[in-house]
Structure formats: C-alpha cells, structure tokens
Amino acid sequence: MFRQPLIVRIPGPVSPMRRRSLASLALLPVFASPAVAAGGPAQAGEPVAWPSVSLLDGRRWGPEQAAGRVMIVVFWSTTCPFCLRHNAHLEKLRRAATGRDLGILTVARDRDPAAVAAYLARHGYGFPVTLDHAPMAAALSARRVIPLSVVVDRGGRLRQVIAGEMFEEDVMGWLSLA
C-alpha cells in the first residue's frame, strides 16, 4: 500500500537545478507506516503536536521551545554523506539566525549517543540534537528519508516536508522566515 507523494510548494524563485531535484523526488512512492494508519503526523497546514524529547546534552525539549517560533527540524544520520553536507548548511543557518525567532532542532537516527557527540564535535556543529526519532517522526513525518527537513510556522502549523539534501542557498533562505 502506498500514499501519494507529498507535494511541497516552495515560496519564491526556485533554481532550475533545484526544480529538477524536487521533481525527481515526486516520483518516489511514500509507503504507509503504522504512524500514518493511526492518525499519524501532521499534514501540510495542520498543527503539529510537538512531543517532549531528551536532547543529547541532557536537557529536555518540548512544545514550549517551539511556541511562537519558526521551527526547522532535520532528520539525519552520522553515516549519511548527504547529511554531512546538509548539516554544514544547517550550521551556517544556525549561526546566522542568532537572536531571531528561528528554532533549529535536529533528530539523529543513530543509536549511539557517543558516536553522535563525536560527530558533532568533529564537524563543529552546535545545533541541538535528539535521538528520540520515533516521537518526532510521529509528529512530523513518517518518511524515513534522510536528510529530511521539516518547516513549521510560528503558529505551529506544518508548512514543508523536504526530502533529501538541499542547496546552501535554499537552507539559508529559511532565514527570511524569522
């Protein structure tokens, strides 16, 4: 059983290369998962039911951290070469967004916290990370593609789910949402 692919509308101009890249993603089927069958994650325009999760540094992250902010959530893995490049763009966005109402949370699909911490240190990434991917996926997207970027607006509504590595200028474009 499969679902129709998620159609994502990207505001503003989109480069021809980016358009081809997005068009090729539309050809990939999205398979239903138990999360989808049970009501599942928010759909475009719907409110997100944020879970409370543990961050790698031991702090808790919950709905109160997302309230009134544009949230960018990225699912990734330490073994994914596409994620490595995507995360470099995300780190650049994090640094540029300092003092703005743009929140970033990443979700590592890895199981070993020490390996994730070493990866973050090795690459100089300072964005918050949770390993609690199941509750985040249940809230945001049942897709298991990595990297997977999710944009939630200030009102807590799901706006975009973007599968795959993105170009730096597209990631940095999220700064205009803050």
Q: What residues does each domain of the chain span?
A: 42-177
pLDDT at 39: 66
For the chain, the first-to-last Cα distance in angstroms comes to 38
- Please provide residue 20's backbone torsions phi and psi, each rounded to the nearest 5 degrees: -65, -40
CA dist 71 and 177 (Å) reads 10
Paired with 102 in beta bridges are 70
- Written as six digits, the tokens of 23 are 């068009």
The one-letter amino acid at 153: D
Domain 42-177 superfamily per CATH: Glutaredoxin (3.40.30.10)
90, 110 in Cβ contact below 8 A? no
pLDDT tens over the chain, length 178 residues: 334 444 444 444 555 445 444 444 433 333 333 333 346 899 999 999 999 999 999 999 999 999 999 999 999 999 999 999 999 999 999 999 999 999 999 999 999 999 999 999 999 999 999 999 999 999 999 999 999 999 999 999 999 999 999 999 999 999 999 8
pLDDT at 40: 83
117, 56 in Cβ contact below 8 A? yes
pLDDT at 15: 52
56, 131 in Cβ contact below 8 A? yes
SS3 164: coil
pLDDT at 36: 36
- Written as six digits, the tokens of 85 are 């490049």
Q: How far is CA 157 from CA 41, 71, 149, in A?
A: 11, 10, 15
